[in-house]
Structure 1
Amino acid sequence: MSSSGKSKKGGSRPSSNPSGRGLKVRVKTAARRSNSSARWLNRQLNDPYVQEAKKRGYRGRAAFKIAQIDDKFKIFKKNSRIVDLGCAPGGWCQIAVERCGPGAHIVGMDLQEVEPIAGVVLLQGDFMDDDAPARLKAELNGPADIVLSDMAAAATGHPQTDHLRIMGLMETALMFAEEVLVPGGSFIGKVLQGGAQAELLKLVKTKFKSVRHFKPDSSRKDSSEMFLVATGFKEN
């Protein structure tokens, strides 16, 4: 499925689950390949979401995370205006285009350069830079219906440090969402389970009518990631 593909009018959405189980592949550990890299490659080759993403032309398995979030909470609407923070490699943007149609206005930003996606304005830059919000607002050219954040700081290997860093990104994304969302708008962001999560949840509940945590089936079982789904942005 191309990045700009969409269902025929009146048709059902493509399933956000893998179509079937493929043959299991085992990678032999070569002399120049570490055990950890062999385990990673084994997991990738045998991951049904990785295989299904390739079949459908999605940029990565993370596309199924936002698709399953939308299946559950019905976030995406036709012609929505959307900001996607931490958008590389582009899977979330692909799903947004697919589900919101050609009338949608989608702006994505990431530190990495992202290959073009039809129907999406892509900006390269650090969202934590002072000028990033202004750049996004200029391209958005109006209020947003949805702000998405799949941002994650580089892992340090220390779980508590990683948790605090991603929570900092989430708080900054939330502040931006407050500036651009229409009343009734939605915010979806990635969090890691940990102590600071409860404090953020309290804050978000003051800004939105409904706030829930959700872990899609496509999130790896051993991952501590969850997604905060906030809907019904309140007018100040």
Structure 2
Amino acid sequence: MTRGAGGRVRVRTSRNRTAQSTRWLERQLNDPYVKRAKAEGYRSRAAYKLLELDEKFGFLKGVRRVVDLGAAPGGWIQVVRRKVPQAMIVGIDLLPVDPIDGATLFQMDFLDDAAPDRLVEALGGEADLVMSDMAANTVGHPQTDALRTAALVEAAHAFACDVLRPGGTFVSKVFAGGGDTAMVAEMKRNFASVKHAKPPASRKGSVEWFVVATGFKGRAEPDQ
């Protein structure tokens, strides 16, 4: 590695490293959010996305029960623990997540039929906040990637509508400006306010945005 003007780190190419991985490593080494996360004890720079969204929308204040979908490596849970230490947090991810005090973590596929019941049982009551940083593994085809992630958003939204208390909040990563029109329309039927935001911690070149749906209207009563 070398340092250029302004202290920017430049990574030398290596026969054991692809050009793409070299660019990724250089970006990581020069990313102020990565450096800040390391200094402040967060597991990932993604923690600042949630912090910035909360600064704008204020959805963490007073939450008591929180579900984190796509929790690895645990940065969002760390944010909740620091902002609302008394909150009960349940998280799930395909990848392992190192233990976090005050959080119940499951390593399993959220789309597994058994997953929602496991989360609800661990939560022990209605959620104040369901947050999702889930995204499908990309295949390099923008339309396919967007559709696969949209399916996860749809599943997360359906789960949120099953577990949220009236007035609760759903926060989710979406792709390319806010997600499918029909999905957004469904959210607007279920929540008093649906806003889209791209926090500063989200890289400018990334297609990710976030949807913040507040004021859950409650579950419809079944027909008699």
Structure 1 counterpart of 2:94 = 111
* Alignment RMSD (CA, Å): 1.3
Aligned residue runs from structure 1 range 31-180, under 5 A: 31-101=15-85, 103-180=86-163
CA contact under 8 A between 2:192 and 2:217: conserved in structure 1? yes
Which secondary structure does the structure 1 equivalent of 2:7 belong to? coil
Q: Secondary structure at the match of 2:89?
A: strand
Q: Is the 8 A contact 1:145 1:186 kept in 2?
A: yes
Q: CA deviation at 1:188?
A: 0.3
Aligned twin of 1:206:
189
1:163–1:194 Cα contact (<8 Å) kept: no
Q: Do residues 228 (structure 1) and 201 (structure 2) align?
A: no
How many Å separate the matches in 2 of 1:218 and 1:194? 16
Whole-Å separation in 2 of the counterparts to 1:195 and 1:159: 14
Q: How many Å apart are 1:34 and its aligned residue?
A: 1.6
**Counterpart pick for 1:187 among 130, 146, 170:** 170
- Partner SS for 1:206: helix
**Alignment match, 1:11:** none
CA contact (8 A) 2:178 2:211 kept: no
TM-score normalized by structure 2?
Answer: 0.93
SS at match of 2:158: helix
Mapped to 1, the partners of 2:113 and 2:144 lie a distance apart of 23
- Once residues 32 and 196 of structure 1 are traced to their aligned partners in structure 2, the CA distance between those partners, rounded to angstroms, is 38
Identity between Structure 1 and Structure 2 (%):
53
Query: Secondary structure of the equivalent of 2:98?
Result: coil
- Asked if the contact 2:178/2:196 (under 8 Å) is kept, the reply is no
CA distance in 1, matches of 2:64, 2:55: 16
| SS of residue matched to 1:82 | strand
Between the aligned partners of 1:137 and 1:27, the Cα distance in structure 2 is 46
Partner Cα separation in structure 1 for residue 128 and residue 87 of structure 2:
10
TM value normalised by structure 1: 0.88
| Separation in 1, partners of 2:18, 2:189 | 48
**2: CA distance between counterparts of 1:23 and 1:61?**
20
- Residue 27 of structure 1 corresponds to 11
The AA in structure 2 aligned to 1:126 is D
Equivalent pair of 2:177/2:209 in contact (CA under 8 Å): no
Distance in 2 (alpha carbons) for counterparts of 1:29 and 1:133: 45
CA distance in 1, matches of 2:116, 2:8: 45
Residues 23 and 195 of structure 1: CA distance in aligned 2, closer, same or farther (over 3 Å): closer
The CA deviation at 1:162 is 0.5
